[in-house]
Structure 1
Amino acid sequence: MRAAGAAALPWIEVARGAPYFVEEGGADWHPIGQNDAISWVELDPLFRRRDVAAVDRHLAMLKAHGVTVLRLMMEYAQVRHRYMERPAGTFPPNMVQLWDDLFALCENHGLRILLTPYDTFWMWLHFRHHPYAAARGGPLPHPSQALTDPAMRAAIKARLSFATARWGGSGALFAWDVWNEIHPAQGGDSADAFDEFIADIGGHLRAEEMRLHGRSHPQTVSIFGPELVWRPHLAMEGAIFRHPALDAATVHIYEQGTIDDPRDTVGAALGMGRIVRECIGEIADRRPFFDSEHGPIHAFKDKHRKIPEDFDDEYFRHMQWAHLAAGGAGGGMRWPNRKPHVLTAGMRRAQRGLAAFVPSIDWARFDRRSVGPEIVVTDAEGSTVGEDRMARFACASRDQAVVYLLGRDRLDARGMLRRDGPPFRLAVSVPGLDAGRYRVSCWDTVAGRNVAPPTEQDGATPFVLPAFDGDAAVAIRRCGD
């Protein structure tokens, strides 16, 4: 279904000198997108080819709003008619056709897919219905053995072999999330199997791709972030952040209270920025880090609390910029947690604004450190502005920096940022920058454009910003680089 004469989509790689992604030709590439599902309203018309044109229009809209990637599960086990195998080992033609069409459409629109082979959440909850259940002739006696059962290992490898043989040659495949939300419960309430499981499954997939395609797509394994807090004694960080078989680190950032059940839009950003910084601190090499799932999951799923759209838009936008500025690749990937499961128009505008900002930095050589707490903010009189008034998120190298400033003392009764007060007139000092002249761009995150034309300033003094309301993102880049 690729358009006639269309060039093949370049593969995505990890940049050689920085913890970000590039296209195979070297152009910067950022994971800007969200989680979707083949049974949700925007992609569901692909099933049995009911309305391929509607999905084509949807993907065109995503591209126009700066979206570059969708995170998708090969099957969505909440429902029983989207299994990738039925019975185990047999791939239904309707599902294969759906994925054929989706990859072709994504190639046409220049979109990529972060693909994970199983919906482990609903697979566990609805296991009695799943084709992999031993009671239904499948390989697995119980999902608590998913990481350790030899027959299950063989089934996982067979599915991944089928998938990469059919779709792995496409540049529309960004990366593999080899296992969605790896969890001790899947290994008999132990994390002891994590390292060996990742090496075995990831190694098999990489060997298959090298055999079939002569190269391999990036790999990651995700985890439900709160598990790292709840079970520190299991020391899962090594497998997630430092496993030698993985190319990138991903976490599902669902901090309790601030993010999973938000009451204000600033606390969520503070949580996102802090966790991104902590995660980057766990990484010992230049692999990229990004959040591959976040959102108000507890409010939506457990409390059935409907979050007003304007609040949700601001919550989304603040977290997106905190993620990028703290050093994450892209803006994080929202799980919609709305009814229906779609992002709002305001969230799409926020993604478009982020996509318009990122060309301000040369990411392929941005070997950044996460330096948010080290940023000094001063007001027009030269007095230091405390973090209780102005939150700051930042990452920097020797000649570039990204800073996000977010007012903390202007929340209204609904927990949203007031923008009717006097504008902020601030300057920022970034540690570790080399001497020289720098181009400074201050970005209006609501409007998705520069607050004022970029300026050239001396790096020996604080960078003076134009007046802004509420929040602003700042790109700092040495002139001539």
Structure 2
Amino acid sequence: MRQASLLKPAPASKIHPLPVTASLPWVQVAPDAPYFITEDGQPWTPIGQNDAITWPELEGLFRRKDLQAVEEYLAYLAEHGVTCLRLMLEYAQVKHRYFEKPAGTFNPRMVQLWDDLFALCAKYGLRILLTPYDTFWMWLKWKYHPYNKQLGGPCAGRGQWLLCPDTMKAIKARLTFVIERWGGSGVLFAWDLWNEMHPAHMGNSSAGFAAAATELSQHVRDLELRLYGRSHPQTVSIFGPILHTHPDTADTIFRHPLLDFANTHFYDAKTIDYPKNTVDSAIKVGELVREALEHAPENRPFFDSEHGPIHLFKDKKHTLAPEFDDEYFRHIQWAHLASGAAGGGMRWPNRHPHTLTPGMRVAQKNMAGFLNLIHWPTFRRKNLNQEIKLSQPAFAVFGCADDQQAVVWLLRTDALYQRKRLMNPEASPLSVEVQIPGLRDGHFQITTWNTLEGVMREQFQVEAQHGICRFTVPEVRTDVAIAVVKVSA
């Protein structure tokens, strides 16, 4: 048994000092809005996806096999408006990417990998949403994991991960190591303290959710405050359907007083997981964002940090055609943003290989361009998917607003072709009148945005009266995004 080594790092001779890298401003929650800003007051939006240290674009980090390829990839992301990668500290699908082996001994090769990744991300202005364990593969391949008691680890069974005191000590020791080595960097956007917290991780009961989140949160924040005088934002993610089977978990995921923002994983069996067309999944995302915002405190940011065609890919062994997947991806990200979430959501690739397509990168870049039209640090949005009125029944509407600004996305539901799977770019155009309630009377600037090309369509001013902002968008063939901003008197 090696339990005596649980709190011991690898020998100092094997882990070199952290290299000096360029710094980035830390990200924090805006004080007056459910979005993010940097410490110098600039708006910051998480645009990105899930990545992994074993997937093609980052695999060159391990043993420094191809750092130039990794750098070129990160530069490409930055050029396409990406601001954030969601990453797990280890990837337990294979035996050579454990962060500790044995438990409590930190792998020098993995430490070097993360040193290099933090340095490269700083160079290109990218940040990381970091979660300390790959709980999916850790669960499936538990018999190989260094935390398994049979291998000298602290835990007798995977159902005790968040109940076993020795395992919690090991978790805290890992977090301590990461905080001491990389926690002072602005590259670290935020902590996802536990990936997809699940009743199965604590004796098939959800009763311990709040206690586990509290223990992890306090450990991380107390240490960061002691070392750096401030702390990074925190969340705990969940596999979305668990909220319906164990509704009490919403108290932790959305409303825990120590967490800074809310995070769920958007999976829906009939639409997102197994898309039949590119419209239904977007509509479901709009419903899920609205549901999430109804749970969360009104000034707490929310975004989906995992979604994708998981059932189609994992169970049906099918990779979507790029043309279809690009549109499915683009529609989901606009439904997410316009419904009131921060950014466009974070896709789990669910492709072979695990990479996003060039078309998805263009979609991210086009959304990044739109973000400049809204002043996010003061946008106290409420979801209005059901309250916005349209003159045309042929559109699904996604929108959010406060009394000064609004974001709206309109998606045609009657323009599918090719066996009703993809949008028809040659569909007969429709003009549509939009009525947004709750805006303060006065003049507003309306900017319509071509989401496919990432350019402004038209810009004009209207006057809101009696709490309604009414305007007409001409000739919409498939979809259009709209920014509504009050004009100063």
Alignment TM class, shorter chain as reference: over 0.9
Aligned-partner SS, 1:339: coil
Moved over 3 A (4+): 1-4
Deviation at 1:280, TM superposition (A): 0.5
Taking the TM superposition and a 5 Å limit, the aligned residue runs for 1:363-402 are: 363-378=376-391, 385-386=392-393, 389-402=394-407
Q: Distance in 2 between matches of 1:263 and 1:240?
A: 30
Q: Match for 2:161 among 127, 146, 149?
A: 146
Look up the match of 2:202.
187
Q: Distance in 2 between matches of 1:179 and 1:2?
A: 25
Q: Distance in 2 between matches of 1:398 and 1:2?
A: 48
Q: Match for 2:475 among 467, 477, 480?
A: 467
Aligned-partner SS, 1:441: strand
Q: Distance in 2 between matches of 1:9 and 1:148?
A: 36
The answer for unaligned runs of 5 or more in structure 2 is 1-16
Deviation at 1:374, TM superposition (A): 0.6
Change (3 A) 1:189 1:428: same
RMSD (Å) for aligned C-alpha atoms: 1.4
Query: Is 1:325 equivalent to 2:331 in the alignment?
Result: no
Look up the match of 1:54.
69
Aligned-partner SS, 1:425: strand
- In 1, are the aligned partners of 2:154 and 2:166 still within 8 Å (CA)? yes
Aligned-partner SS, 1:430: strand
Query: Is 1:422 equivalent to 2:428 in the alignment?
Result: yes
The letter for the 2-side match of 1:422 is S
- In 1, are the aligned partners of 2:22 and 2:119 still within 8 Å (CA)? no
Q: Match for 2:173 among 139, 146, 158?
A: 158
Q: Match for 2:238 among 223, 244, 258?
A: 223
Aligned-partner SS, 2:482: strand
- In 1, are the aligned partners of 2:319 and 2:350 still within 8 Å (CA)? no
- 313-322 or 276-285, which deviates more: 276-285
The letter for the 2-side match of 1:359 is N
Cα displacement string for residues 246-288 of structure 1 (whole angstroms, at most 9, x for unaligned residues): 0000000011110001001000000101000100000124110
Look up the match of 2:10.
none
Taking the TM superposition and a 5 Å limit, the aligned residue runs for 1:338-357 are: 338-357=351-370
Cα displacement string for residues 152-195 of structure 1 (whole angstroms, at most 9, x for unaligned residues): 11011000010011001000000000000000011111001100
Query: Is 1:119 equivalent to 2:134 in the alignment?
Result: yes
Q: Distance in 2 between matches of 1:202 and 1:109?
A: 29
Q: Match for 2:327 among 307, 314, 319?
A: 314
Deviation at 1:3, TM superposition (A): 11
Query: Is 1:177 equivalent to 2:192 in the alignment?
Result: yes
Look up the match of 2:410.
405
Look up the match of 2:255.
242
Query: Is 1:478 equivalent to 2:486 in the alignment?
Result: yes
Deviation at 1:306, TM superposition (A): 2.2
Aligned-partner SS, 1:406: strand
Deviation at 1:415, TM superposition (A): 1.1
- In 1, are the aligned partners of 2:19 and 2:115 still within 8 Å (CA)? no
Aligned-partner SS, 2:449: strand
The answer for unaligned runs of 5 or more in structure 1 is 379-384
Identity %: 52
Change (3 A) 1:27 1:136: same
Deviation at 1:37, TM superposition (A): 0.2
Look up the match of 1:90.
105
Query: Is 1:440 equivalent to 2:446 in the alignment?
Result: yes
Deviation at 1:414, TM superposition (A): 4.5
Q: Distance in 2 between matches of 1:207 and 1:361?
A: 35
Change (3 A) 1:155 1:18: same
- In 2, are the aligned partners of 1:451 and 1:466 still within 8 Å (CA)? no
Q: Distance in 1 between matches of 2:269 and 2:457?
A: 34
Q: Distance in 1 between matches of 2:453 and 2:137?
A: 38
Cα displacement string for residues 192-231 of structure 1 (whole angstroms, at most 9, x for unaligned residues): 11000100111111001001111000000000001112x1
- 413-422 or 114-123, which deviates more: 413-422
Q: Distance in 2 between matches of 1:308 and 1:300?
A: 12
Aligned-partner SS, 1:456: strand
- TM-score, normalised by the number of residues in structure 1: 0.96
- TM-score, normalised by the number of residues in structure 2: 0.94
Q: Distance in 2 between matches of 1:455 and 1:373?
A: 25
Look up the match of 2:264.
251
The letter for the 2-side match of 1:100 is D
Cα displacement string for residues 424-466 of structure 1 (whole angstroms, at most 9, x for unaligned residues): 21121111000111111101110111122x1111123512223
- In 2, are the aligned partners of 1:451 and 1:468 still within 8 Å (CA)? no
The letter for the 2-side match of 1:212 is L
- In 2, are the aligned partners of 1:40 and 1:341 still within 8 Å (CA)? yes
The letter for the 2-side match of 1:450 is M
- In 2, are the aligned partners of 1:2 and 1:108 still within 8 Å (CA)? no
Cα displacement string for residues 369-412 of structure 1 (whole angstroms, at most 9, x for unaligned residues): 0011111112xxxxxx22xx210000000010000000001111
Look up the match of 1:67.
82
- In 1, are the aligned partners of 2:33 and 2:376 still within 8 Å (CA)? yes
- In 1, are the aligned partners of 2:262 and 2:303 still within 8 Å (CA)? yes
